[in-house]
Amino acid sequence: MTGTSVRRIKKAIAQLPVPDPWDRRRFVESVAEMRGRPITLLPVGMRGGLASPCGLWLVREHDDVIIYEDATSEYHMDQIVCHEIGHMVLGHDRTQSSDTRVTSDPMFRSVFPDIDPLTVRTVLGRSDYGNALEREAEMFATMVMVSGGREQRDQNFRNVLFKRQ
């Protein structure tokens, strides 16, 4: 990760309304309002094994959908959602072409029957950190998660170990 990337990430985070104490839904709602596009969170069980992504960002014409693994800790869910938000605010969709392989895949259709694949313009998914955009989005997520005060960091630590009630 270059110094330029880190500065760019810090600048992006400084412009975001990161709630303290942390609240995933409030954060996503604030980012959606700031971007002028609705963002839907869709928790699902990703059952594709180690190679499947634990999060996806579907860019559609009028909205965005963040799909994230729900069979994990609250902290990991927050990290996944922040990772996908990182792709959004860092403009990674402008550097990607549509991944039609994902939306035409029978698994996509069986797991997401309510999402018309023809409405999806771009898909960004993460199963590893093999390229610079994935590493940048992950750095963004980590920096958001530690950007709050002590109460947020304590809450994040509890969320690593326990599910919210």
Tokens coding 24: 């995933």
Query: Which tens digits make up the pLDDT trace of 21-70?
Result: 889 999 999 999 999 999 999 998 766 554 556 788 888 889 999 989 88
Count Cβ atoms below 10 Å from residue 145 Cβ, excluding itself: 19
Mean pLDDT value across residues 1-6: 83
Query: Which tens digits make up the pLDDT trace of 117-147?
Result: 666 655 555 545 568 888 899 999 999 988 8
Mean pLDDT value across residues 70-97: 86
* 3-state DSSP assignment of residue 67: strand
Rounded-to-integer distance, Cα 53 and Cα 69, Å: 9
Tokens coding 80: 């996944």
Phi, psi of 154 (to 5 degrees): -65, -45
More confident call, 107 vs 40: 40
Q: Which band of pLDDT confidence, cut at 50, 70 and 90, is reported for residue 165?
A: very low
Helix (H) / strand (E) element for 42: namely strand 39-44
pLDDT at residue 71 is higher than 90: no
Mean pLDDT value across residues 8-28: 92
Q: Are 97 and 120 in contact (CB under 8 A)?
A: no
